[in-house]
């Protein structure tokens, strides 16, 4: 899908150094190829990866950095491409330039990475689905966590965890939330619909659930003791890690006795992403969000570090970032098609 203005100026917010501070930045997107789509960005979710990359936590960030929310490709699992994925930001694009993410006015992507947002689904709510949503949906489908009547444990009640709870309930599961904070109980049970809430530091509450769960999905990024949670799984139970703790330690005995499985997952491919969007629209699954202007992005990142958000920030790009002044004709409109990489 070509455009008459392939090199239109893109407006964004970028970090210039490891301080991570974001400020206005102008740049050019790559030229639009014959199979590309140019999309205006209306909303962009804020993810903890934005903190890690803007502040060079991994030691490989390339500045200026515009964050924003990757034999397998033929199966719709492009994120696991044997050649390596092209990351939304701080990656190397097909033309050799450094990719820049969704904290910007528009983006150019290959048409295979565009998805249809159902007409009745608000765009600001679709943004977190393409990051937090697909992160938990993919392993839940892979490990058959969509069997009504089964039991699911969700560790952590943040951006990922609250969507795991919502998916679990939509699948007909009995959901137990594990958290270190008793203050989250009312939110978990009354607002999100969890069936049970357990303070993970309470040994009595934990032991009462021994051998009772079919699945556990760990959305926490902090270090936790894994053995106590593995002991809660039934025989052949599955523990899925989607957070990024600094290390994972557990006794082999805890795993071997009971044929338990420990698995990891990071995100999903194109097929499941579209499936998830359709599922959320059909079952009215909506992320809990706080919409902010792009000028608030630095404060939002700081608040996210302090876990001061319920449960995902979404930047209102369309109304807070001056968009392109040129007028374009699109064969595919951004209302109907979006890129997960542009939004997540």
pLDDT tens, position by position, 219-269: 998 899 999 999 999 999 999 999 888 889 999 999 999 999 999 998 888
Sorted by where each begins, the domain ranges of the chain are 9-129+288-316, 132-264
Note whether 9-129+288-316 and 132-264 share their fold: no
Given a cut of 70, whether residue 325 has pLDDT beyond it is: no
Q: CA-CA distances (angstroms) from residue 336 to 62, 114, 262, 266, 339? A: 32, 9, 38, 26, 10
pLDDT tens-digit readout, 2-59: 343 456 799 999 999 999 999 999 999 999 999 999 999 999 999 988 999 999 998 9
Q: Which CATH architecture has domain 132-264?
A: 3-Layer(aba) Sandwich (3.40)
Taking CA 253 as the corner, what is the angle to CA 226 and CA 161, rounded to the nearest 5 degrees?
Answer: 25
How far, in Å, CA of 220 to CA of 216, rounded? 12
H/E stretch holding 110 = strand 106-110
Question: Tell me: the pLDDT tens digits for 288-314?
Answer: 999 999 999 999 999 999 989 999 999
Return the residue matching tokens 């990719």: 99
Over residues 329-340, mean pLDDT: 34
- CATH no. for 9-129+288-316: 3.90.180.10
Q: What's residue 340's pLDDT? A: 40
Q: Which distant-in-sequence residues (6+ apart) come within 8 Å of 35 by Cβ?
A: 1, 110, 111, 112
């Amino acid at each position: 899908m070509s455009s008459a203005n392939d090199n239109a100026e893109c407006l964004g917010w970028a970090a210039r150094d490891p301080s991570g501070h974001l400020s206005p930045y102008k740049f050019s997107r790559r030229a639009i190829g014959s199979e590309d789509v140019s999309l205006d960005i209306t909303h962009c979710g804020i993810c903890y990866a934005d903190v890690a990359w803007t502040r060079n936590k991994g030691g490989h960030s390339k500045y200026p950095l515009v964050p924003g929310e990757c034999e397998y490709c033929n199966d719709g699992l492009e994120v696991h491409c044997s050649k390596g994925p092209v990351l939304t930001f701080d990656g190397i694009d097909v033309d050799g330039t450094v990719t820049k993410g969704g904290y910007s006015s528009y983006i150019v992507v290959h048409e295979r990475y565009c998805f249809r947002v159902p007409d009745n689904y608000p765009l600001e709510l679709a943004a977190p689905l393409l990051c937090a949503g697909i992160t938990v949906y993919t392993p839940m489908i892979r490990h058959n966590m969509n069997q009504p009547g089964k039991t699911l444990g969700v560790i952590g009640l943040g951006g990922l965890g609250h969507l795991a709870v919502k998916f679990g309930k939509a699948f007909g599961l009995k959901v137990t939330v594990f958290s270190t904070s008793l203050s989250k109980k009312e939110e978990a049970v009354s607002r999100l619909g969890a069936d049970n809430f357990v303070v993970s530091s309470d040994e009595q509450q934990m032991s009462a659930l021994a051998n009772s769960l079919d699945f556990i999905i760990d959305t926490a990024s902090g270090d936790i003791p894994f053995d106590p949670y593995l002991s809660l799984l039934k025989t052949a139970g599955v523990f899925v890690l989607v957070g990024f703790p600094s290390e994972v330690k557990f006794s082999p005995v805890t795993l071997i006795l009971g044929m338990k499985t420990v698995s990891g997952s990071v995100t999903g491919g194109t097929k499941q992403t579209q499936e998830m969007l359709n599922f959320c629209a059909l079952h009215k699954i909506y992320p809990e969000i706080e919409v902010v202007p792009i000028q608030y992005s630095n404060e939002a990142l700081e608040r996210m570090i302090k876990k001061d958000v319920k449960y995902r920030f979404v930047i209102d790009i369309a109304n807070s970032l001056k968009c392109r002044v040129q007028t374009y004709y699109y064969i595919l409109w951004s209302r109907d098609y979006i890129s997960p990489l542009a939004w997540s």
